[in-house]
Amino acid sequence: MIRFKQQRLALKGWLLTLVSGRLKLAAQRGAISRIDIFFLAIAWGNIGYAAGISYLRHVGERVLKSKGPILECGSGATTLLIATLTQTEQRQFVVFEHNLEWYRHLRQILKQLGFHHVKLIHAPLVDYGDFRWYKAPTLNRHPPFELVICDGPPGSIPGGRYGLLPIMGDQLSTSCLILLDDTHRKAERHIITSWRRQRCLRFNRLGYLGSYSEVEFC
C-alpha cells in the first residue's frame, strides 16, 4: 500500500510538472487558455468539478494582473496554479492550510516541483468566540497582501470564511482584491453582508450562477 501511494504521488508529480511547464509559458505570454486549466484539473484530479474550471482560470488571470504579495486561505489546485505563475518573479505567496495530513501532502508536492518561494503554513482552526478560523501566525514585517484567494476554511465550520476580515483585515492593502469562492451558497453571501457592516466594500458575483465573487474595499 505504501509503495502504491509513492508511485501514485510520483505519477501525479510528473503530470503536474508537465502542466507547470504549460502554465509558465502561459505566464510569459500573459494569458491562460482554457485548455491549460483543463490539463491542470486532470493532473490535480478535479476533472469532475466543471464549475471549478472557470474559477481556476479567473484566479490565474487575476494573479497575472496583480502585483505584490498573495494570501490563499485553503489550498488545492489554485495553490499550484499561483505557485507556477509567481515563481519567476519570486513573489511572496502565503498559504494557510488547517488539515495537517493535506498540508504534509501538499508540502511534498511543492518541494518536488521546486516551488520554494511558497510559504505554506499549517494553521489549525481555533475558536474566536462567534466563529472559528485559522490560527493565523504573526507575519512580521510582511507587506500588505494585494490579492486574497479565499476558499477556506470549510463552510461547515461556525462562521465559515468570515474570519478573513476580522483576523487579517489589518494585513490587507487598501487596494486588495479578495476572490471569494462558492458565493452561490447562502452562507457565503451572508459573509459578504457581514463584512459590509464592518467596512465599505464593493462586490461582483461572477461564474456560473454567481459561484464566486470579487470583493474590493471602497
pTM (global) more than 0.75: yes
Cβ proximity of 63 and 44 under 8 Å: no
pLDDT in tens, 53-71: 889 999 999 999 999 999 9
pLDDT in tens, 139-198: 767 789 999 999 999 989 999 999 999 999 999 999 999 999 999 999 999 999 999 999
pLDDT over 90 at 22, yes or no: no
Identify the band that residue 130 occupies on the pLDDT scale cut at 50, 70 and 90: very high
Domains in the chain, ordered, with CATH?
A: 50-217 (3.40.50.150)
